[in-house]
Amino acid sequence: MVMTPARVRQQRQKQLQNKQLANQQRQAATLRANAESEEAAEPSGTSIRQAESAASQSLQLCSICLENQKERLFFPCGHVCACGDCAALLQAQGSPCPMCRTPIERVINAFL
Ligand SMILES: [Zn+2]
Ligand SMILES: [Zn+2]
């Protein structure tokens, strides 16, 4: 069988539609499950949970530039709150840990 470009396109489109359909069904199922479990837990849980997930997302970001992932640990206080750039900057300036003001003796690579 010869796969003409038109045929290939058609097949791709069909696969794509199938995938989208499957995604939609999955999303609907997830939403239903979420709605049920949240109603069971507490009615006002949705906004709290959303805030929590937003907070945990921002927890992953450097608290200084709020752009890069946190990737440095300050020793001795142990806070992981800065990306490589900001940690290097703090250390170069001789600034203390922005979380607890403990002087930074060393900056250690952190793997989250
Ligand atoms: Zn940063
Ligand atoms: Zn600290």
CA of 93 to the centre of ligand 2 (A): 16
* pLDDT tens-digit profile, the chain (112 residues): 666 777 778 888 888 887 887 878 888 777 777 666 655 555 566 687 877 776 666 668 999 999 999 999 999 999 999 999 999 999 999 999 999 999 999 999 998 7
Q: What is the domain range of residue 31?
A: 5-42
CA of 10 to the centre of ligand 2 (A): 58
Interval between CA 54 and ligand 1 midpoint (Å): 18
The CATH number linked to 80 is 3.30.40.10
Same domain, 98 and 65: yes
Domain count across the chain: 2
Question: How far, in Å, is the centroid of ligand 2 from the Cα of 54?
Answer: 22
Nearest listed ligand to the Cα of residue 76: 2
> In terms of pTM, does the model score above 0.85?
no
Q: Is residue 38 domain-shared with residue 65, that is, in the same domain?
A: no
User: In 4-76, where does DSSP find H-type helix?
Assistant: 5-41, 45-59
Q: Which helix (H) or strand (E) holds 84?
A: helix 84-93
Contacts for 63 with CB less than 8 Å, ≥ 6 apart: 70, 81, 82, 98, 99
Q: Are 108 and 78 in contact (CB under 8 A)?
A: no
Residue pair 61/67 in contact by the 8 Å Cβ criterion: yes
